[in-house]
Amino acid sequence: MNPEIALSPNAIDVQASQPSTRVSLSRVGVTGVEKVISLGEDGHYHAELECYVDLAPDQAGVHMSRFEENVSEAIEEVVVSQSMRAEQLAARIAELVRVKQKGLRAEVSITARYAEKMPAPVSGIENQEIYTLLGTAVASEEITRTVTGVQAQGMTACPCAQEMVADLARGRLSERGYNDDQVEEIISTVPIATHNQRGIGTLWIGCTQASSTDLDARDMLRLVESSMSSEIYELMKRPDEMSVVVKAHSNPRFVEDCVREMIRQVVETYPNLSETAFVMARQENLETIHRHNVVAERFGLVSDMRREIAGENPSRRHLTMKEWLELPAE
Protein backbone atom coordinates (compact mmCIF):
# COMPACT_ATOMS: atom_id res chain seq x y z
CA MET A 1 0.00 0.00 0.00
CA ASN A 2 1.19 3.47 -0.82
CA PRO A 3 1.96 5.08 2.60
CA GLU A 4 0.81 8.44 1.26
CA ILE A 5 -2.77 7.17 0.93
CA ALA A 6 -2.86 4.81 3.94
CA LEU A 7 -5.72 5.37 6.39
CA SER A 8 -4.93 6.96 9.71
CA PRO A 9 -5.36 4.64 12.71
CA ASN A 10 -7.66 7.32 14.11
CA ALA A 11 -9.94 7.32 11.05
CA ILE A 12 -13.64 7.27 11.91
CA ASP A 13 -15.64 4.14 11.04
CA VAL A 14 -18.46 5.96 9.28
CA GLN A 15 -20.61 2.83 8.87
CA ALA A 16 -20.59 2.29 12.65
CA SER A 17 -21.71 5.83 13.42
CA GLN A 18 -25.24 6.87 14.38
CA PRO A 19 -27.63 7.43 11.43
CA SER A 20 -29.51 10.71 11.16
CA THR A 21 -32.80 8.79 11.45
CA ARG A 22 -32.85 5.96 13.97
CA VAL A 23 -34.72 3.22 12.05
CA SER A 24 -33.65 -0.39 11.53
CA LEU A 25 -33.50 -1.73 7.96
CA SER A 26 -34.88 -5.12 6.93
CA ARG A 27 -32.23 -5.85 4.30
CA VAL A 28 -29.03 -4.23 3.11
CA GLY A 29 -26.62 -5.94 0.79
CA VAL A 30 -25.16 -6.55 -2.63
CA THR A 31 -26.59 -8.01 -5.84
CA GLY A 32 -25.06 -9.05 -9.13
CA VAL A 33 -21.98 -10.62 -7.49
CA GLU A 34 -20.47 -12.86 -10.18
CA LYS A 35 -18.19 -15.74 -9.27
CA VAL A 36 -16.90 -19.00 -10.66
CA ILE A 37 -17.71 -21.67 -8.09
CA SER A 38 -16.76 -25.33 -7.79
CA LEU A 39 -19.34 -27.82 -6.55
CA GLY A 40 -17.72 -31.11 -5.65
CA GLU A 41 -16.28 -33.02 -8.59
CA ASP A 42 -18.83 -31.69 -11.07
CA GLY A 43 -16.71 -28.84 -12.34
CA HIS A 44 -16.77 -25.07 -12.27
CA TYR A 45 -19.84 -22.96 -12.87
CA HIS A 46 -20.59 -19.32 -13.45
CA ALA A 47 -22.76 -18.10 -10.59
CA GLU A 48 -24.48 -14.90 -9.58
CA LEU A 49 -25.05 -14.15 -5.91
CA GLU A 50 -27.17 -11.84 -3.78
CA CYS A 51 -26.23 -11.24 -0.12
CA TYR A 52 -28.25 -9.34 2.48
CA VAL A 53 -28.16 -8.68 6.21
CA ASP A 54 -30.46 -6.73 8.53
CA LEU A 55 -29.19 -3.45 9.96
CA ALA A 56 -29.66 -2.17 13.52
CA PRO A 57 -31.27 1.26 14.02
CA ASP A 58 -28.15 2.74 15.62
CA GLN A 59 -25.74 1.75 12.80
CA ALA A 60 -25.40 4.00 9.77
CA GLY A 61 -24.45 1.29 7.29
CA VAL A 62 -23.01 -2.14 6.66
CA HIS A 63 -19.43 -2.76 5.55
CA MET A 64 -20.03 -3.54 1.88
CA SER A 65 -16.52 -4.86 1.27
CA ARG A 66 -17.08 -7.57 3.86
CA PHE A 67 -19.76 -9.18 1.69
CA GLU A 68 -17.14 -9.82 -0.99
CA GLU A 69 -14.70 -11.10 1.63
CA ASN A 70 -17.32 -13.46 3.06
CA VAL A 71 -18.25 -14.82 -0.37
CA SER A 72 -14.61 -15.46 -1.29
CA GLU A 73 -13.90 -17.06 2.10
CA ALA A 74 -16.88 -19.41 1.85
CA ILE A 75 -16.07 -20.44 -1.73
CA GLU A 76 -12.60 -21.48 -0.62
CA GLU A 77 -13.82 -23.12 2.59
CA VAL A 78 -16.89 -25.10 1.63
CA VAL A 79 -16.24 -28.65 0.47
CA VAL A 80 -19.33 -30.01 -1.22
CA SER A 81 -19.93 -33.69 -1.91
CA GLN A 82 -20.35 -35.10 -5.41
CA SER A 83 -24.00 -34.03 -5.23
CA MET A 84 -24.50 -30.50 -6.51
CA ARG A 85 -25.46 -28.47 -3.44
CA ALA A 86 -25.49 -24.74 -4.15
CA GLU A 87 -27.60 -24.20 -1.04
CA GLN A 88 -24.78 -25.45 1.20
CA LEU A 89 -22.54 -22.73 -0.15
CA ALA A 90 -25.34 -20.19 0.29
CA ALA A 91 -25.78 -21.33 3.91
CA ARG A 92 -22.12 -20.92 4.77
CA ILE A 93 -21.95 -17.46 3.18
CA ALA A 94 -25.11 -16.41 5.06
CA GLU A 95 -23.65 -17.57 8.37
CA LEU A 96 -20.40 -15.70 7.74
CA VAL A 97 -22.24 -12.55 6.66
CA ARG A 98 -24.46 -12.55 9.75
CA VAL A 99 -21.52 -12.92 12.13
CA LYS A 100 -19.13 -10.52 10.39
CA GLN A 101 -21.80 -7.86 9.89
CA LYS A 102 -23.13 -8.38 13.45
CA GLY A 103 -26.66 -8.91 12.16
CA LEU A 104 -29.60 -10.91 13.48
CA ARG A 105 -30.43 -12.35 10.07
CA ALA A 106 -28.62 -12.85 6.77
CA GLU A 107 -29.91 -14.08 3.43
CA VAL A 108 -27.97 -15.38 0.43
CA SER A 109 -29.21 -16.57 -2.97
CA ILE A 110 -27.11 -18.29 -5.64
CA THR A 111 -28.03 -18.85 -9.29
CA ALA A 112 -25.56 -21.03 -11.19
CA ARG A 113 -25.58 -22.27 -14.78
CA TYR A 114 -24.79 -25.95 -15.18
CA ALA A 115 -24.01 -27.92 -18.36
CA GLU A 116 -24.76 -31.61 -18.72
CA LYS A 117 -24.21 -33.91 -21.70
CA MET A 118 -27.45 -35.50 -22.86
CA PRO A 119 -28.02 -37.84 -25.85
CA ALA A 120 -30.77 -37.08 -28.38
CA PRO A 121 -33.65 -39.60 -28.03
CA VAL A 122 -33.18 -41.56 -31.30
CA SER A 123 -29.82 -40.78 -32.91
CA GLY A 124 -28.00 -40.56 -29.58
CA ILE A 125 -26.11 -37.51 -30.80
CA GLU A 126 -24.55 -35.76 -27.82
CA ASN A 127 -26.00 -32.46 -26.61
CA GLN A 128 -24.66 -29.99 -24.08
CA GLU A 129 -27.80 -28.93 -22.26
CA ILE A 130 -27.72 -25.94 -19.92
CA TYR A 131 -29.62 -26.07 -16.64
CA THR A 132 -29.98 -23.67 -13.74
CA LEU A 133 -29.11 -24.52 -10.13
CA LEU A 134 -30.63 -22.40 -7.36
CA GLY A 135 -29.67 -22.15 -3.71
CA THR A 136 -31.11 -19.89 -1.02
CA ALA A 137 -30.28 -19.73 2.67
CA VAL A 138 -31.42 -17.62 5.62
CA ALA A 139 -29.24 -17.70 8.73
CA SER A 140 -30.24 -16.49 12.18
CA GLU A 141 -28.70 -17.04 15.61
CA GLU A 142 -30.76 -20.17 16.21
CA ILE A 143 -31.15 -21.81 12.80
CA THR A 144 -30.15 -21.81 9.15
CA ARG A 145 -32.81 -22.80 6.64
CA THR A 146 -31.98 -23.66 3.04
CA VAL A 147 -33.94 -24.13 -0.17
CA THR A 148 -32.56 -26.22 -3.04
CA GLY A 149 -33.80 -25.32 -6.51
CA VAL A 150 -33.44 -26.31 -10.15
CA GLN A 151 -34.82 -24.97 -13.41
CA ALA A 152 -35.19 -26.82 -16.71
CA GLN A 153 -36.88 -26.30 -20.06
CA GLY A 154 -39.18 -28.64 -21.92
CA MET A 155 -42.13 -28.72 -24.30
CA THR A 156 -45.86 -28.81 -23.63
CA ALA A 157 -48.73 -29.63 -25.99
CA CYS A 158 -52.18 -28.13 -25.35
CA PRO A 159 -54.88 -30.72 -24.52
CA CYS A 160 -57.76 -28.32 -25.24
CA ALA A 161 -56.74 -27.43 -28.80
CA GLN A 162 -55.90 -31.09 -29.45
CA GLU A 163 -59.39 -32.20 -28.43
CA MET A 164 -60.94 -29.56 -30.72
CA VAL A 165 -58.83 -30.79 -33.64
CA ALA A 166 -59.77 -34.40 -32.80
CA ASP A 167 -63.46 -33.46 -32.76
CA LEU A 168 -63.07 -31.77 -36.16
CA ALA A 169 -61.36 -34.91 -37.48
CA ARG A 170 -64.18 -37.11 -36.19
CA GLY A 171 -66.74 -35.06 -38.11
CA ARG A 172 -64.79 -35.14 -41.35
CA LEU A 173 -64.12 -38.87 -41.10
CA SER A 174 -67.81 -39.53 -40.45
CA GLU A 175 -68.71 -37.46 -43.50
CA ARG A 176 -66.47 -39.71 -45.58
CA GLY A 177 -68.31 -42.85 -44.51
CA TYR A 178 -66.23 -44.18 -41.61
CA ASN A 179 -68.29 -45.72 -38.80
CA ASP A 180 -67.82 -44.73 -35.15
CA ASP A 181 -65.43 -47.60 -34.30
CA GLN A 182 -63.27 -46.85 -37.32
CA VAL A 183 -63.19 -43.15 -36.49
CA GLU A 184 -62.04 -43.77 -32.90
CA GLU A 185 -59.40 -46.25 -34.07
CA ILE A 186 -57.98 -43.66 -36.46
CA ILE A 187 -58.07 -40.91 -33.82
CA SER A 188 -56.28 -43.12 -31.30
CA THR A 189 -53.65 -44.22 -33.84
CA VAL A 190 -52.71 -41.02 -35.67
CA PRO A 191 -51.05 -38.12 -33.77
CA ILE A 192 -53.53 -35.26 -33.43
CA ALA A 193 -52.31 -31.72 -34.06
CA THR A 194 -52.30 -29.03 -31.37
CA HIS A 195 -50.32 -25.93 -30.54
CA ASN A 196 -47.22 -26.48 -28.45
CA GLN A 197 -44.78 -24.25 -26.63
CA ARG A 198 -41.52 -24.20 -24.75
CA GLY A 199 -42.00 -24.45 -21.01
CA ILE A 200 -39.79 -23.45 -18.08
CA GLY A 201 -40.21 -25.57 -14.97
CA THR A 202 -38.75 -24.63 -11.59
CA LEU A 203 -38.72 -26.73 -8.43
CA TRP A 204 -37.61 -25.75 -4.91
CA ILE A 205 -37.39 -28.03 -1.87
CA GLY A 206 -36.60 -26.59 1.55
CA CYS A 207 -35.20 -28.49 4.53
CA THR A 208 -33.68 -27.58 7.86
CA GLN A 209 -30.07 -28.46 8.68
CA ALA A 210 -31.28 -31.47 10.67
CA SER A 211 -32.86 -33.08 7.59
CA SER A 212 -31.39 -36.39 6.43
CA THR A 213 -32.99 -36.32 2.96
CA ASP A 214 -30.41 -36.18 0.17
CA LEU A 215 -31.49 -33.81 -2.57
CA ASP A 216 -29.43 -34.28 -5.72
CA ALA A 217 -29.89 -31.62 -8.37
CA ARG A 218 -29.73 -34.14 -11.22
CA ASP A 219 -32.68 -36.09 -9.80
CA MET A 220 -34.66 -32.89 -9.36
CA LEU A 221 -33.88 -31.81 -12.94
CA ARG A 222 -35.13 -35.11 -14.37
CA LEU A 223 -38.28 -34.72 -12.28
CA VAL A 224 -38.95 -31.24 -13.69
CA GLU A 225 -38.32 -32.31 -17.29
CA SER A 226 -40.60 -35.34 -17.01
CA SER A 227 -43.45 -33.18 -15.70
CA MET A 228 -43.85 -31.61 -19.15
CA SER A 229 -45.11 -33.18 -22.37
CA SER A 230 -41.58 -33.88 -23.63
CA GLU A 231 -37.94 -33.04 -23.06
CA ILE A 232 -36.25 -30.79 -25.63
CA TYR A 233 -32.74 -30.91 -27.07
CA GLU A 234 -30.41 -28.33 -28.54
CA LEU A 235 -29.16 -30.58 -31.37
CA MET A 236 -31.36 -33.15 -33.12
CA LYS A 237 -31.53 -35.13 -36.33
CA ARG A 238 -34.87 -35.54 -38.11
CA PRO A 239 -35.75 -38.84 -36.34
CA ASP A 240 -35.10 -37.07 -33.01
CA GLU A 241 -37.40 -34.20 -33.97
CA MET A 242 -40.16 -36.64 -34.92
CA SER A 243 -39.71 -38.52 -31.66
CA VAL A 244 -40.00 -35.34 -29.56
CA VAL A 245 -43.08 -34.09 -31.42
CA VAL A 246 -44.88 -37.45 -31.27
CA LYS A 247 -44.07 -37.85 -27.56
CA ALA A 248 -45.34 -34.36 -26.74
CA HIS A 249 -48.57 -34.80 -28.71
CA SER A 250 -49.13 -38.19 -27.07
CA ASN A 251 -48.75 -36.58 -23.66
CA PRO A 252 -50.59 -33.22 -23.79
CA ARG A 253 -50.48 -31.15 -20.60
CA PHE A 254 -51.78 -27.83 -19.39
CA VAL A 255 -49.48 -25.56 -17.41
CA GLU A 256 -51.48 -26.66 -14.34
CA ASP A 257 -50.81 -30.33 -15.14
CA CYS A 258 -47.06 -29.74 -15.11
CA VAL A 259 -47.14 -28.26 -11.60
CA ARG A 260 -49.36 -31.03 -10.27
CA GLU A 261 -47.10 -33.65 -11.83
CA MET A 262 -44.04 -32.08 -10.19
CA ILE A 263 -45.78 -32.16 -6.81
CA ARG A 264 -46.89 -35.77 -7.28
CA GLN A 265 -43.37 -36.86 -8.15
CA VAL A 266 -41.85 -34.98 -5.20
CA VAL A 267 -44.23 -36.73 -2.80
CA GLU A 268 -43.45 -40.15 -4.33
CA THR A 269 -39.70 -39.63 -4.83
CA TYR A 270 -38.94 -38.18 -1.39
CA PRO A 271 -41.09 -40.11 1.13
CA ASN A 272 -38.62 -39.27 3.90
CA LEU A 273 -39.03 -35.52 3.61
CA SER A 274 -39.98 -34.05 6.97
CA GLU A 275 -43.62 -33.05 7.38
CA THR A 276 -42.40 -29.47 7.78
CA ALA A 277 -40.31 -29.47 4.57
CA PHE A 278 -41.17 -26.79 2.02
CA VAL A 279 -41.94 -27.42 -1.65
CA MET A 280 -42.61 -24.99 -4.47
CA ALA A 281 -43.29 -25.95 -8.09
CA ARG A 282 -43.62 -23.35 -10.84
CA GLN A 283 -44.31 -23.71 -14.54
CA GLU A 284 -44.26 -20.94 -17.14
CA ASN A 285 -45.23 -21.69 -20.73
CA LEU A 286 -44.09 -19.34 -23.50
CA GLU A 287 -47.25 -19.29 -25.55
CA THR A 288 -47.17 -19.60 -29.34
CA ILE A 289 -50.74 -18.64 -30.35
CA HIS A 290 -51.18 -15.92 -27.73
CA ARG A 291 -49.20 -12.76 -27.02
CA HIS A 292 -49.06 -13.60 -23.32
CA ASN A 293 -47.41 -16.39 -21.34
CA VAL A 294 -49.14 -18.60 -18.77
CA VAL A 295 -47.96 -19.49 -15.26
CA ALA A 296 -49.00 -21.90 -12.51
CA GLU A 297 -47.53 -22.37 -9.02
CA ARG A 298 -48.01 -24.43 -5.89
CA PHE A 299 -46.10 -23.79 -2.70
CA GLY A 300 -46.41 -24.87 0.90
CA LEU A 301 -45.57 -27.65 3.34
CA VAL A 302 -45.11 -31.11 1.88
CA SER A 303 -47.42 -32.48 4.59
CA ASP A 304 -50.32 -30.46 3.14
CA MET A 305 -49.57 -31.77 -0.35
CA ARG A 306 -49.43 -35.37 0.86
CA ARG A 307 -52.84 -35.03 2.51
CA GLU A 308 -54.43 -33.51 -0.60
CA ILE A 309 -53.05 -36.26 -2.85
CA ALA A 310 -54.44 -38.80 -0.38
CA GLY A 311 -57.90 -37.27 -0.85
CA GLU A 312 -58.17 -35.08 2.23
CA ASN A 313 -59.47 -31.52 2.19
CA PRO A 314 -56.98 -28.92 0.88
CA SER A 315 -55.33 -26.52 3.28
CA ARG A 316 -56.98 -23.09 3.27
CA ARG A 317 -53.67 -21.24 3.11
CA HIS A 318 -50.36 -22.09 1.44
CA LEU A 319 -47.14 -21.12 3.24
CA THR A 320 -44.85 -19.01 1.02
CA MET A 321 -41.11 -19.54 0.66
CA LYS A 322 -40.37 -16.27 2.43
CA GLU A 323 -42.58 -17.30 5.36
CA TRP A 324 -41.00 -20.74 5.58
CA LEU A 325 -37.47 -19.32 5.57
CA GLU A 326 -38.42 -17.05 8.49
CA LEU A 327 -39.89 -19.82 10.68
CA PRO A 328 -38.20 -20.37 14.07
CA ALA A 329 -36.37 -23.58 14.93
CA GLU A 330 -38.62 -26.63 15.26
Here the CATH number for the domain that contains residue 253 is: 3.10.270.10
**Residues 113 and 174 placed together within one structural domain of the fold:** no
**Residues 31 and 139 placed together within one structural domain of the fold:** yes
Nearest to residue 86, comparing CAs of 39, 30, 48? 39
**Residues 199 and 186 placed together within one structural domain of the fold:** no
**Residues 271 and 154 placed together within one structural domain of the fold:** yes
95 occurs within a structural domain: yes
9 occurs within a structural domain: no
Helix or strand (DSSP H, E) at 114? strand 105-119
Residues 295-309 pLDDT 10s: 999 999 999 999 999
- What is the Cα–Cα distance from 243 to 234, expressed in whole angstroms? 14
Residues 125-180 pLDDT 10s: 999 999 999 999 999 999 999 999 999 999 999 999 999 999 999 999 999 999 99
**Residues 170 and 268 placed together within one structural domain of the fold:** no
**Residues 168 and 113 placed together within one structural domain of the fold:** no
**Residues 96 and 176 placed together within one structural domain of the fold:** no
Instruction: Mention every residue, 6+ apart, whose C-beta is less than 8 A from residue 93.
Output: 49, 51, 70, 71, 74, 108, 137
* Percent of the chain topping pLDDT 90: 67
**Residues 199 and 183 placed together within one structural domain of the fold:** no
Q: What residues pair up with 297 in beta bridges, in sequence order?
A: 282
**Residues 30 and 172 placed together within one structural domain of the fold:** no
For residue 65, the SS3 value is helix
- The domain in which residue 270 lies consists of 21-158+195-325
Say yes or no to pLDDT of 36 above 80: yes
- What is the Cα–Cα distance from 183 to 91, expressed in whole angstroms? 59
| Residue predicted with more confidence, 71 or 255 | 255
Instruction: Mention every residue, 6+ apart, whose C-beta is less than 8 A from residue 69.
Output: 100
- Are 196 and 288 spatial neighbours (Cβ–Cβ below 8 Å)? yes
2 occurs within a structural domain: no
- Are 28 and 53 spatial neighbours (Cβ–Cβ below 8 Å)? yes
**Residues 169 and 269 placed together within one structural domain of the fold:** no
pLDDT average, residue stretch 322-326: 94
Say yes or no to pLDDT of 1 above 60: no
How many distinct structural domains can be found in the chain? Answer: 2
**Residues 222 and 93 placed together within one structural domain of the fold:** yes
300 occurs within a structural domain: yes
The pTM of the full predicted model, rounded to 2 decimals, is 0.89
- Are 299 and 278 spatial neighbours (Cβ–Cβ below 8 Å)? yes
- What is the Cα–Cα distance from 285 to 90, expressed in whole angstroms? 29
**Residues 184 and 319 placed together within one structural domain of the fold:** no
Task: Provide the CB-side half-sphere exposure for 223 (13 A, CA).
Answer: 26
pLDDT at 213: 73
